[in-house]
Amino acid sequence: MSTEPIPMSDQEFWRSLAMDGGAASGSISDNDLAAWLEGRLAPAEAARVDAVLAADPVQRAAAMELSEILAMPLPAAPVRLAVRAQALVGFEAERMPASRPGFFVSLFAAGRRQAMRAAAMGTAAAILAVSGFLMGGGLGESYAQQKHITVVSSTDTSNELTDLFSDGNVI
């Protein structure tokens, strides 16, 4: 029986091997992966990322994909992507202050401003109407005045009719 070693190409040889079960697994944070991609991690941290990537084909493919994109010239993005994204942030005057707002500030905050304005206008109009009505004597006086005018006008009319008949003008 021959004890000669079997010659193998490097790739065949590698594929006949399996990494030990103790190979690293786990996740890499976005910040760590970004630092690793730029070669800015400390050796111990870089080794941990190397181990995770060696053990996980999905994360390895992701790292390779990012490395390729970062090295290539990028095509322009569709205009609508930028337009929609820019609309996500409003103008400074519309932004809430960073600190906790006071009662009146939150009362008139951007979201409620329109409704509050309408409510304030309505309230002011109602106050004006009521105060004007009260200054004019209120409902009772108004009714009495109206009644007086009616009585006076009906008396005048009956007097005119009496005068007409008494003068013998009726045929």
Which CB, 66 or 139, lies closer to another protein? 66
How far apart are the C-alpha atoms of 115 and 113, rounded to whole Å?
6
Q: How far is the CB of 143 from another protein (least distance, A)?
A: 60
How far apart are the C-alpha atoms of 156 and 164, rounded to whole Å?
12
How far apart are the C-alpha atoms of 156 and 37, rounded to whole Å?
105
How far apart are the C-alpha atoms of 37 and 46, rounded to whole Å?
10
- Helix ranges, 23-170 (H): 30-37, 43-55, 57-71, 79-86, 103-107, 113-135, 138-166
Q: How far is the CB of 95 from another protein (least distance, A)?
A: 5
Answer for the pair 9, 35: CB distance below 8 angstroms, yes or no.
no
Residues interacting with another protein, by CB under 8 A?
5-11, 13-24, 30-31, 33-35, 37-40, 46-48, 50-51, 53-54, 57, 60-71, 74-78, 80-82, 84-86, 88-92, 95, 98
Q: How far is the CB of 34 from another protein (least distance, A)?
A: 4
Which CB, 74 or 161, lies closer to another protein? 74
Which CB, 85 or 139, lies closer to another protein? 85
Q: How far is the CB of 112 from another protein (least distance, A)?
A: 20
Which CB, 5 or 168, lies closer to another protein? 5
Answer for the pair 59, 28: CB distance below 8 angstroms, yes or no.
yes
